[in-house]
Amino acid sequence: MKKWMLSLGLTAGLISLSACNNAGADSEAIVESKAGDITKEQFYNKMKEQYGDQVLNQMIDEMVLEDKYKVTDKEIDKEIDKIKEELGGEDAFKQALEQNGLSDEKQLKERVKSMLLNEKAATEGVKISEDEMKKVFEEKYKTEVKASHILVDDEKTAKEVQKKLNDGGDFAKLAEEYSKDPGSKSKGGDLGFFGKGAMVPEFEKVAFTLDKGETSDLVKSDYGVHIIKVTDKRENKFEDKKEQVEQELKQQKAKPITEILENLRKKADVKIKDKELKEKIEKKAEQPQQPAMPQQQQ
């Protein structure tokens, strides 16, 4: 899954709720029934109790980041266009929004803006040399392949699919029928173009040895059994990938965002006036942080 695919439905709703909540409307009923009513105040207090510290922390972080760093509409639109291209068009984009709890593109833009603010803060002052970029380009991006795959759980199923392919079966249709990869099965198994290091080693080793139009034998990995078909290959120019490589290297050298936010909060002299939320946030801050789970490649 792409890093932008994070649900904003709850958070966005809570922010809107906290912004529109006011004393004059507290007693207004938002639910009426024979069993009783629910007022705005009751709803707000319940949401605050369950999620208030999380939302408030997010709002403070974005406030202090926006005070120092700027993200333009042009930068946001550029990221949205990348997402649409990666997903394969408007229809797939709209479907992805729904699957990730986003009601419209506006909510995604808010998430992208937050992501870009964090990136700018974490990579400020990070320098990347031309030699570093060229080395990574040669290793990972100079040659790219475009492949499709059918991923199944076991060798028996894989052999069944393989026989159908050998008998003239359509690869894309069989991927839609058999593959368990949710990110590609609806696209006929298409994974798009990728360079070295993007896939698990077992998959990559085979994909980069196949000729255009060639289909592999069975390939086992921790994810299951793959049948891979290479549909295209290309040789890239350094200038075409320079921006992508630079961004990747900057992210690798990025400073911890938690430290940056802590310093920005101190400089902004943030004071939380709501006693309940303040105590809840401070209590969580004192708890030891759990180490993040390592992410796997596709």
The domain that holds 162 is classified in CATH as: 3.10.50.40
Is pTM beyond 0.85 here? Answer: no
CB-based contacts of 167, cutoff 8 Å, min separation 6: none
Alpha carbon separation from 127 to 124, 140, 168, 175 (Å, rounded): 9, 20, 53, 43
The count of other CB atoms within 10 Å of the CB of residue 160 is 13
Q: How far apart are CA 131 and CA 245, in angstroms?
A: 11
Residue 220, CB half-sphere, CA atoms under 13 Å: how many?
5
Q: Using 70 as the pLDDT threshold, list the residues of the chain that sit under it.
A: 1-26, 288-298
Asked, for residue 1, whether it belongs to a domain, the answer is no
pLDDT at 248: 92
Q: What is the span of the domain harbouring residue 197?
A: 143-234
How many structural domains comprise the chain? 1
CB-based contacts of 120, cutoff 8 Å, min separation 6: 69, 71
pLDDT at 72: 95
Asked, for residue 228, whether it belongs to a domain, the answer is yes
Asked, for residue 204, whether it belongs to a domain, the answer is yes
pLDDT at 25: 58
Asked, for residue 211, whether it belongs to a domain, the answer is yes
Asked, for residue 166, whether it belongs to a domain, the answer is yes
Asked, for residue 77, whether it belongs to a domain, the answer is no
Asked, for residue 3, whether it belongs to a domain, the answer is no
